[in-house]
Chains A and B, each alone.
Chain A
Amino acid sequence: MTAADVISLAPDAASVKAGEALASPRKWLALGSDASFLWGECQGSGKVPYQVCVELGTLAYACSCPSRKFPCKHVLGALLAHVNASTASGTPPEWVSEWHAKRSEKQQRSAARASAVAAGAAPEAGEAGAAPSKRAQTRERRVAAGVDECERWLGDLIRLGLAHARVQPASFWEGRAARLVDAQCPGIARRVRALAATVVSGVGWEERTLTALGEIALLCSAYGRLDTLAPELGADVRRAIGWTQTHDEIAARAFDIVTDTWLAVGIRTVDEERITARRTWLLGSHTRRSALYLQFAPKGAPIPDPLVAGSRFDATLIYLESAAPLRAIVTERGAGHNGAFVPEATSIDASLESFARALAGDPWLERFPFVLADVTPQLEHEAVWLVRDASSALPLAGGSPGLRALLALSGGSPLCVAGEWDGTAFVPLMAWSAGRAVALGS
């Protein structure tokens, strides 16, 4: 871990500055670490010093200060002091082990809460266990009504024409999305909300809008005949509409369990409406399986147990039920492996083919990981392409944060690049050059 990794955890620039100010052991009453934990006591404005504790393997942390920033400046300061090698080794005090014991249990609860928030179903969480089957039936009814209404709305759009839809105010899309949220279809609502931007996205907007409408229509009609679909595809439909599963439900379903040494080949954090989502793309070293580890947190709150880009660790993944299994949860995370590791990569053509195969399973798949070997980023009229053998090329998404860093890293020579493909553009997330792994910013 480097100072840059620590800083990437900070919620804002002010926290970084405050954390840096605490990075000196002079600011601490006690600051120590062993192989697993980092701890310290810091005199704040109160009488009792704040107690800070970090589990180094997972970067889970706690601080007794009342700050509403996560991590707070004390955690950042302690970590920065630690990476500067200015903490003394020692035996953790009692309060550290107490904290650790409480944590595992708490962790389960917070994961369940976060997925509930992600599904927009926060109100339900409080009633957990009350009368599940009755509540499930109510939701089923609401969704059916919402999907019905949505289909009629789509029909109206097409009858009046996209040119007409294009000149509608933002509230036109927002209002429809709000109705779908009320109907407990947050997945469809998200797609509808995105249309507001698609219709004004410039050249080619007609094709993009129609494609997106087609996907929503397909989703609505698939829900109508859910009972005729294979169970895996049915699971994809329900997830695309907005049903979520808790960690425990996924573990109980045990659809596909894969144990391997996983490499985090790319991480992207995006702010959505009320939540922060972190997509971690994993690649199995032996099985060569890809996985998407999706984590949510309320906006401004920490992502629990974040993985670091380029890290390699043993773990058992449980895939969510799907016709094209990709999303998974991480269980039994074991030892980490050190050293830069270049993943096994494939050609552009082979990657596109595997994307097509995945789409054939789950037509609502939004993104797919590519790990591309020997590609050279090339600049052409402000646009960047990944080129291989001068015979195939992939367009890079224009706004990707790491485009110039990727060009600089390559310097006109081929390298290995991992990232997300959404069917039209590629977002580079990590690159390997001369044995060095470089995260390209998220």
Chain B
Amino acid sequence: MNNESAIAATWPTLVRSAVVGTQRSPAIGLLSEEAEWTALIRGGTSSDETLVLRAAAVIGLLRRAGRRAPLVDRAEAPPAGPETRPRCGPAAAADLLRILDREPGLLPEWLALAERAQVRVPEEHVPLLFSYAESRAALHPAVIAVAGARGAWLGTQFSEWGFAAGTPDDPGAAWLHGEFAARLAAFVMLRRIDPADARERLIATWEREAARERVAFVRALHTGLGDADEPFLDARLDDRRKDVREAAALLLARLPASRLAARATAAAHACITLRKRLLQSPVLDVTLPEALSAELQRDVIDLKPPHGVGERAWMLRQIVAHVPPAQLVPGVDAAHVLDLVRRCEHGPALLHGIAAATASYDDERMRTAFLIDAAGDHGAGALALTANQDAPWSERRRDAIVALLEAGVPNALEFTLTLPGPWDRRFSQAFLAYLRALATSSAGSALWRTRREVFSEAALRIEPALADAGEEWPASATQEIARDVIDAFYETVRFRAGLRRHLESQS
């Protein structure tokens, strides 16, 4: 008998007798097969246990040494396609690793810089990036773009990375043949290229889309949203699923020309009238709606008021939330509308509704009116400002907050964060000046402690080139807590300046 078959014959018996124990299963007949090594085991053996241990030593060693690579007959996966972009440099890659490890807030910025430099992530780091991004759908388009062909290939290897599987070069094919995540990513990409074409593709397949996946496609219409989407969205208000109706209503409330806006405006005008008075400033007469008509019930998705709000006041608030702010009181400008509302009955309900409408229609005039009014009702004002941060940069908004900063308004810091990053140079300088003034003031340690988050957030948005100015901070900022906050602020800004340097040197 040759070695191999003798081992194959002996080993299982040996293992069995060791598991059971030689006490109950004597190892007789264990070495019935003769091979060149059996004598090694037998020689001078006194007991069953020794025999088993020796056999285990010899055969175990033979098995370990003789392990053969198995012959394989696998269907090989097609290799990754060729890359079109160069890798980012080692310094930029090191930045990315640090961001993924402990500064995830900077990832969107790094991705945008890499995209601008037209580089990709070195392939060995793509898994780390994907692991972080797999559950964060908002990052997917940017992540896919810098992951290159290797990213798309990895998407085909691991189901949790399927979002990357669709080749970015051909979103049309991914839309037709991909998995849900890949199709969603492809749809967003198609919307970016040609919103009308993408919408027609969705309408063509709408009836076949799985019910629970429809809401994601409706939400995805946010990209490239326009009046042409209105008929499709309005029809969705009759959908059987509440989440689809909600998503459609949210998008329609971004289109001032939508039928939803017109219906809400008509209903609001029925409740609100401007009464002009002799020798006195006009007032708003407000009556609460009795009941919602059938078509308004279709628009207002959430009929149940939150705790502490009356049913009819809630109806009014919901209706006003769908009215484009400029049309609420025709012929009166935004600042005066707020003034009127503050003095009328049911003011709070109206104010909340206007704030929500300001955010969804992204009404710049009303937003600024709220801001100027900020010293008054901070709650509603801040609400209108913080909502909808993805709205485009507005100079008026920036100027309004710069004015607050320059005037040294105590809560101006809070308002700075209502401006999405990256901040431009003008705004950044105003912020730094405010910060410097604060550092030299006698502001207590409580202020620094409670503002820590404002600064760490501001560090992510400020123009990083300003960090290289190397200006010394006032020596009077002697409080340790203030120094800590400022050091951390500067450290982040400096790191961001590095990100830029490392990626820009390549483009």
Spell out B's residues near A (CB within 8 Å): 11, 14-15, 18-25, 47-50, 52-61, 63-74, 76-80, 90-91, 93-94, 97-98, 101-102, 123-128, 149-150, 153-154, 157-158, 470, 487, 491, 494-495, 498
Contact = CB atoms under 8 A, between A and B. Distances in A.
B40 to A, nearest CB: 11
B65 A21 contact: no
B83 to A, nearest CB: 9
A413 to B, nearest CB: 5
Contacts of A404: 127, 154, 158
A352 interface: yes
Contacts of B149: 411
A359 B61 contact: yes
A217 B53 contact: yes
Given A4-B90, A359-B65, A392-B69, 18 more contacts: A16-B102, A155-B47, A155-B53, A158-B22, A161-B20, A215-B57, A215-B60, A217-B57, A218-B61, A355-B65, A356-B66, A359-B64, A363-B61, A378-B74, A392-B72, A407-B154, A409-B123, A412-B79
A28 to B, nearest CB: 14
Given A158-B53, A160-B23, A352 B68 contact: yes
A428 to B, nearest CB: 11
Contact of B19 (A7, A26, A84, A206): A206
Contacts of A407: 127, 154, 157
A356 B65 CA distance: 4
Contacts, number: 183
Nearest to A212: B60
Give chain B's interface secondary structure class.
Answer: helix
A218 B57 contact: yes
Given A217-B54, A356-B66, A13 B102 contact: yes
Given A21-B487, A408-B126, A411-B150, A391 B53 contact: no
Given A155-B53, A211-B60, A363-B61, A4 B94 contact: yes
Contact of A159 (B49, B54, B80, B491): B49
A349 interface: yes
Given A206-B15, A380-B74, A408-B154, A438 B498 contact: no
A217 B51 CA distance: 11
A158 B49 contact: yes
A12 B44 CA distance: 55
A397 interface: no
B67 to A, nearest CB: 6
Given A4-B97, A411-B80, A162 B74 contact: no
Given A161-B20, A163-B19, A408-B154, A390 B72 contact: yes
Interface string A345-362: 000110010011001100
Interface in A388-405: 390-394, 404-405
Max count, chain B CB within 10 A of own CB: residue among A7, A348, A411, A438 = A411
Nearest to B151: A408
Contacts of B127: 404-405, 407-408
Interface of A: 2-4, 7, 13, 16-17, 20-21, 24, 26, 84, 154-156, 158-164, 206-207, 210-211, 213-215, 217-218, 221, 348-349, 352, 355-356, 359-360, 363, 376, 378-380, 385, 387, 390-394, 404-409, 411-413, 423-424, 431, 433, 438, 440
Given A210-B15, A210-B18, A424 B67 contact: yes
Contacts of B60: 210-211, 214-215
Contacts of B470: 26
Contacts of B90: 2, 4
In the complex, which of the residues B65, B67, B91, B150 has the most CB atoms of chain A within 10 Å of its own CB atom? B65
Instruction: Give the most central of A207, A378, A413: most B CB within 10 Å.
Output: A207
A90 B49 CA distance: 71
B50 A84 contact: no
The 5 tightest CB contacts between A and B, nearest first, are A161-B21, A214-B56, A411-B80, A412-B79, A392-B69
Contact of A163 (B20, B57, B67): B20
Contacts of B22: 158-159, 161
Contact of B56 (A24, A217, A408, A433): A217
B61 A394 contact: no
Given A4-B94, A392-B69, A387 B57 contact: no
A212 to B, nearest CB: 8
Nearest to A17: B102
A158 B65 contact: no
Given A13-B102, A387-B72, A390-B72, A161 B123 contact: no
Given A215-B60, A411-B150, A411-B153, A3 B21 contact: no
A164 B15 contact: no
A218 B125 CA distance: 44
B345 to A, nearest CB: 56
A241 to B, nearest CB: 15
A379 B56 contact: no
B66 A158 contact: no
B64 to A, nearest CB: 4
